[in-house]
Structure 1
Amino acid sequence: MDIRITHNGPVLDIQLTRPAAKNALNQAMYHTLADTLIHANQSPETRVIVLRGLPEIFCGGNDMQDFVAISQGMADFHGERFMKSLVECDTPVVAAVSGPAIGIGTTMLQFVDVVYCSPSAVFKTPFVHLGLCPEMASSTELAKLVGPRKAKEMLLLGATMTADEALTLGFVNQISQSPDDAAFQCAEQLSQLPPKAMQISKRMIGQQEKTRLLRTIEDENIELIQRIRSDEAKEAVSAFLEKRPAKFS
């Protein structure tokens, strides 16, 4: 099982559990995540969602084998649906991040409400290195969270953001030796508050931006699919899988 879903009363615990692939997300996982978020957002029994990975890694980004399949003509069936389901989720989401959060492992956190990370957490978006482009509205939203200079450093150079940087820049709420425990404590607190007031308040905070964000995700993904199928990306992904330097003519 690559995703473990547990209901703890009003708290829904979503844990990525694919250690052999460093918690990289494939189409099946995107499908499960999207369905789970959509159902949770419609369920009055679910008041808070906790999203977490494993002690050694939060998320290794998109599955490279999926990139290969998409480059050969497979459609992205569920990746965009997951992105939109998180943006449209009115139920509060708390994330616990331990270890690396790569690619979409970082960009999904833009739309989480509270983030706790371990001292070992690192955030990285190596899109250009793979011949790709920003996704999940990171082309517009990451700079708002970490500032334009750091965002460009991450999105263009693939630079790493450390846990300390993430806290200083406001990308995470707190560094914790046990981010899972901190996330569940926060979730318990949130679950005791009036649920309708919570959902309405979250919706009001983001409602003016939601249509634009969904359109941005769509536009980015059109370009992303074209990039995945480009010669640059095919060479970059092949080099990554073959553990060799990429060669761009």
Structure 2
Amino acid sequence: MSDLLLREDRERVRTLSLNRPDQLNAFNQELYVALAEALGEADGDPDVAVVMLTGVGRAFSAGTDLLEMRQTAAGADDAGASHGFVGLVDALAGFTKPLVVAVNGLGLGIGVTLLGYADLAFASSAARFKTPFTTLGVAPEAASSFLVPRLVGRQNAAWMLLSGEWVDAEEALEMGLVWRVTSPEGLLATAWKHAATLAARPISSLVAVKETMTASLRPGIEAARELENAKFAELMGAPANLEALTAFAEGREPDFTNLPPGA
């Protein structure tokens, strides 16, 4: 397993911890691939009943590594992070066992949208959430245009996805984006206790319950991903996206006021 992802097994709960703390656990190609592979391994391991996902350091995940994304948008990296991203979303959508997420700090982009695939989501009171699609000049991802409204309601989803503004832990709890908010010190213990409760149940029954709960969602997820991917490809490398990524690399706020009409 990659050093970018830590693993611990205890009482049929496998804890996976994103481990790029100096980059706020932003997903580069290697981390996307590592987590996708780890989910696949856990799904096929008869000794694992539940997976718990969290982050090391002060962030859960800052989303996609924007420096790598800039290389992709500029055409310097033909593969970029897109292949690893798609593989991770495939793994999340196909994961058959309970997935418990413990958001320990900042969550941006995929650090928020993967909550659509969580069966239980816990957050530290220090957590904050942001879906920065419009501030990056791109489209939604990971079927978030379908899953986030189901979690938080259409207007809350519209605000999150359209504005790119921060949502704090209490707002996320009130919306339904997360199930419980705890103190930072108590987050992992609380999330693990609930994961262990599930893990004491028969795996075959856990899988059956999750399948029956999610089967009706699959057509919507597939349709949303197809449309999102098409829109993302259309906007990736377009003027707004290049301005956003250039501004990030230069350490300034993007200026979208001088873009071509319609951009």
TM-score clears 0.5: yes
Deviations 1:55-83, CA, capped at 9 Å, x for gaps: 41111010012211221332322101101
In 1, are the aligned partners of 2:13 and 2:50 still within 8 Å (CA)?
A: yes
TM-score (norm 2): 0.90
In 2, are the aligned partners of 1:70 and 1:225 still within 8 Å (CA)?
A: no
Identity of aligned residues (%): 31
Q: Please list every run of 5 or more consecutive structure 2 residues that lacks an aligned counterpart in the other structure.
A: none
**Residue type at the aligned position of 2:50:** V
**Residue type at the aligned position of 1:80:** V
Q: Secondary structure at the match of 1:180?
A: helix
1:218: how far off?
3.2
1:6: how far off?
2.3
The answer to whether residue 62 in structure 2 is matched with residue 60 in structure 1 is yes
Query: What is the distance in 2 between the residues matched to 1:226 and 1:24?
Result: 23
- List structure 1 segments (4+ residues) > 6 angstroms apart after TM superposition: none
Tell me what 1:93 maps to.
99
Tell me what 1:110 maps to.
116
Q: Secondary structure at the match of 1:51?
A: strand
Q: Secondary structure at the match of 1:172?
A: coil
Query: What is the distance in 1 between the residues matched to 2:34 and 2:226?
Result: 20
Match of 2:245 among 232, 237, 247: 237
Match of 1:35 among 37, 44, 66: 37
In 1, are the aligned partners of 2:146 and 2:220 still within 8 Å (CA)?
A: no
Query: What is the distance in 1 between the residues matched to 2:233 and 2:191?
Result: 34
Query: What is the distance in 2 between the residues matched to 1:243 and 1:114?
Result: 36
| Higher mean C-alpha deviation, range 153-162 or range 221-230 | 221-230
In 1, are the aligned partners of 2:156 and 2:175 still within 8 Å (CA)?
A: no
Deviations 1:208-241, CA, capped at 9 Å, x for gaps: 2213313422331232133222121011111012
Q: Secondary structure at the match of 1:95?
A: strand
In 2, are the aligned partners of 1:57 and 1:100 still within 8 Å (CA)?
A: yes
TM-score (norm 1): 0.95
Q: What RMSD, in angstroms, separates the aligned Cα atoms of the two structures?
A: 1.4
Match of 2:130 among 124, 129, 134: 124
Match of 2:210 among 202, 209, 212: 202
Q: Secondary structure at the match of 1:7?
A: strand
| Higher mean C-alpha deviation, range 235-244 or range 208-217 | 208-217
Query: What is the distance in 1 between the residues matched to 2:202 and 2:188?
Result: 24
How many residue pairs are counted as aligned between the two chains?
249
Deviations 1:141-200, CA, capped at 9 Å, x for gaps: 211211111111111111222111111122111111121111111111111111101101
Deviations 1:25-84, CA, capped at 9 Å, x for gaps: 011111011111112112211101010012411110100122112213323221011012
Deviations 1:129-148, CA, capped at 9 Å, x for gaps: 11111111111221121111
Q: Secondary structure at the match of 1:49?
A: strand
Query: What is the distance in 2 between the residues matched to 1:159 and 1:137?
Result: 19
1:9: how far off?
4.4
Match of 2:18 among 16, 20, 28: 16
